[in-house]
Structures are given as C-alpha cells and as structure tokens.
Amino acid sequence: MLNRRHLRVKVLQALYSYHQSDKKEVQAHEKLMLQSIDRVFEMYIWMLSLVDEVIQFSANDAAERANKHLPTADDLNPNLKILDNRFIASLHVNRDYVAAVKRYKISWDFEPELAKSLFIVLKNSDEYAAYLAKTDDTLQSDKDIIKYIFKKVILKSSLAEQVFEDKFISWPVDRDVLQALIAKTFKNFSFDNYQENKLAEVTGNWAEDRDFIVDLFEKSIRYDDEYQVMIGQKTQNWEPERIAMMDTLLMKMAICEFVNFASVPVKVTINEYLEIAKEFSTPKSNSFINGILDKILFELKEQNKIRKTGRGLIE
C-alpha cells in the first residue's frame, strides 16, 4: 500500500507539475494529484483481473486441444481444476472488486495475446504440474499457485511489463506499491467464507492520509515565497540556476512539515526527504539538502516556530 513516503512523492510530483505549468490553478493540480493515487488502486485492480484472465484462459486452451486434428486422451480430458481456484472464486464474489472492474471498465480485449502467452508459460511450468497433481487442495495451496502466476509469470513477462508501462505512466514508480497491495490481498484472503475476504486498501488510513497530502500540497504552495526566502538566505553562495528544482521543492516541503505539521517528528521529516532525494534528484542532493535543512531548522527553533505535539515530540 501507499505509505507516507509514497504519498510525499505524489505531492512532490504534483508540486513539480504545478510550478512547471503556465496555469497556476491549485485545485486543478490537487485534483490530478488525488487522481494519481486512485490510479494506483486502478492498477491493482487491472493486475488482479489479469491473474483471473490467465486462469480463465485454461478453458480456451482446453477447447483448442479438444479441437485438434488428432487429440490425445489428455487433450480430451484436461485437468481444469484451476478454474475452481478458491482465491479466484473469492475474488469473483467480492463486491468491491466487481464494482471496481465495472468502474474502471476493465477488459483485456485490447491485448488478446497477453493472457494466452502468460498461460503457456504457466502450463509449461513444474509448479503448475505439481498444482494439478495435488489432491488435498486448500485455500493456501490455491493461493500459492496464484502467487506463482503473479510473481514468476506476470512480473517476469516483458509483454505484461510493456502493457502496464503503456497504460500507467507511473508504473516504474508505483510497481513496488502494486506488489505490496497484491501481497496484502494474499494475506487478507484467508477465510473459507468468501464474504470475509477483503481487498487491500490503497493506504492505511485514507481519511487521514488524504488530509495530510492535501494540506502539504496546499501549504507548500501558499507559503512558497516565504520558504524560498529561507532557502535563498542559506544558499547565497550558490547560483540559483545551479540548484536543482527537485532539491528546492523537497526543501520547501520539509520546511512546510517543520512548521505546519505538529504531529510529524522533525527527524522523520528530514529522513523522508533525504531518502526521496536519493531517488528523484541528483547524486549530491542528499548532502546538500541535509546541510541547508539543518541550518533552517536551527533558525526556526531559535525563533520558536517549531511546535510539535503528540508523536511529533519524538526526536
């Protein structure tokens, strides 16, 4: 699921888009930011549906084998027990999943060869043969073959990779989040009573997390000039054009959290933005940002502008 670091990245991307745009419409960019999070959930539903599509292709494969010119006994009597897989059966009756498939208009008709190619890989694997041979199936054994399909068949497929890259611009960034959501689903689907099995949630607490990212986005923009002055005072020996835009945005977001987010500990804020800088900015950004933030934080404390409460008091 999306943790606070992932959410900070979403805010960073939205701020970058806002500052690069000619139209400084805060609400419009905020809406796009929230949509980018919904797209993560949509990606998750598409992936679950692809797993299902691969399994359902076993029926197509059986029909093709039966219609061969000289079908064998195995061709005429294929083992189709995967169609009764408990994980997939539970997914089919999950109201949230069914509603999401409808809402996102999910259909794999645009890429008909994908499920076929993935099923062929599955069919030729030792893991699938062992699954078909097993007679004492349980929900856990049914989940194990689904895990194999997801991790070793779909995620290893260059065609599947290309399809998701083309469909979701944030795929390279959100791929790890997707895997966490699928892993959470395997954990959640642990009940023989299918009605008890729940989809993963996109964040741990969306009500709180939504407030966090909206506040961070809006306040980073509202106090942008003020934060720019703070940064400018500590970077007088640097030519403005030499400071990466991402570095500036990360520092402004950190300052915003220092001053406006009483429940977020200062050390958490610094560590989060230094980690984000490693991935999204220049090789030297980490130490640069750390040095500037230390100076600004010292000054803010001297001015008694850092007021943390609750969890935020933890240093």
Domains of the chain: 4-196 (no CATH), 223-313 (1.10.940.10)
* 171-188 vs 26-66: helix crossing angle, rounded to 10: 60
Question: Helices in 21-138 by DSSP H: which ranges?
Answer: 26-66, 73-76, 86-92, 95-103, 112-123, 126-133
Q: What is the mean pLDDT of residues 141-164?
A: 97
Backbone φ and ψ of 203, nearest 5°? -140, 170
* pLDDT in the model for residue 315: 65
Confidence of residue 237 (pLDDT cuts 50, 70, 90): confident
* pLDDT in the model for residue 86: 96
* pLDDT in the model for residue 110: 93
Residue 1 has pLDDT above 90, yes or no: no
What region does 9 belong to: left with phi over 0, alpha with psi -120 to 50, or beta?
alpha
* pLDDT in the model for residue 67: 81
Spacing of C-alpha 56 from chain mean position = 26
What's the rounded Cα separation, in Å, for the pair 80 and 160?
A: 24
Q: What is the pLDDT of residues 53-97, one digit of tens each?
A: 999 999 998 888 878 878 886 767 788 999 999 999 999 999 999
Q: What is the mean pLDDT of residues 272-295?
A: 93
Q: What is the mean pLDDT of residues 104-117?
A: 95
Contact yes or no for 185/48 (Cβ under 8 A): yes
Contact yes or no for 271/4 (Cβ under 8 A): no
What's the rounded Cα separation, in Å, for the pair 232 and 98?
A: 52
